[in-house]
């Protein structure tokens, strides 16, 4: 399995001894989905689908957690969002928007705040890096 990182559609037949290696559009390497166009859309969808499963769990247990424990839970799951951010973090903002919204939603739930609370308050309370500070 190999990737061709070019903008022109190229069909190559790569043969190693007697094994034909097929060309793929997406390849998973060290937990990061690498696409042939390097748009990182598949990886962002992969991370989103992995983290979104926990939102309902956080919502159900938010009243039973202390502030310190909920903060620890956030930083434990923040690792899933931050893994490989150096690689896919420079993609289009429209691609990253779903992860930013999901992160804000998790912060809102764990801090037991209303949906009208300003997003910067979530980051101030958890002393986390906000989206504006990353740029």
pLDDT at position 127 over 80: no
Work out the average pLDDT over 8-14: 63
Tens of pLDDT, residue by residue over 64-87, are 888 888 888 888 888 888 898 888
Quick check: helix, strand or coil at residue 33? strand
The pTM of the full predicted model, rounded to 2 decimals, is 0.75
Task: Assess whether 52 and 109 both reside in one domain.
Answer: yes
- Counting the structural domains of the chain, the total is 2
End-to-end CA, the chain: 35
Domain housing 20: 1-38
Task: Assess whether 130 and 66 both reside in one domain.
Answer: yes
Task: Assess whether 45 and 21 both reside in one domain.
Answer: no
Task: Assess whether 61 and 124 both reside in one domain.
Answer: yes
Those residues with Cβ within 8 angstroms of residue 6's Cβ, 6 or more apart along the chain or in another chain = 36
Residues for the chain: how many in total?
Answer: 135
Task: Assess whether 80 and 115 both reside in one domain.
Answer: yes
Dist. CA 57–CA 61, nearest whole Å: 6
Task: Assess whether 4 and 24 both reside in one domain.
Answer: yes
Dist. CA 113–CA 74, nearest whole Å: 15
Tens of pLDDT, residue by residue over 84-111, are 888 888 888 899 999 999 999 998 998 8
Task: Assess whether 27 and 72 both reside in one domain.
Answer: no
The backbone torsions φ and ψ at residue 61, rounded to the nearest 5 degrees and listed phi first, read -105, 5
């Amino acid at each position: 399995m190999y990737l061709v990182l070019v903008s022109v559609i190229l069909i190559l037949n790569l043969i190693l001894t007697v094994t034909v290696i097929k060309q793929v559009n997406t390849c998973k390497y060290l937990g990061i989905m690498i696409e042939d166009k390097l748009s990182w859309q598949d990886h962002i969808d992969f991370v989103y689908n992995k983290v979104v499963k926990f939102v309902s769990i956080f919502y159900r247990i938010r009243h039973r957690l202390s502030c310190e424990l909920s903060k620890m839970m956030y930083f434990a799951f923040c690792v899933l969002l931050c893994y490989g951010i150096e690689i896919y973090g420079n993609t289009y903002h429209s691609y990253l928007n779903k992860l930013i919204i999901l992160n804000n939603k998790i912060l809102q739930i764990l801090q037991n705040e209303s949906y009208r609370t300003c997003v910067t308050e979530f980051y101030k309370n958890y002393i986390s890096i906000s989206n504006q500070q990353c740029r």
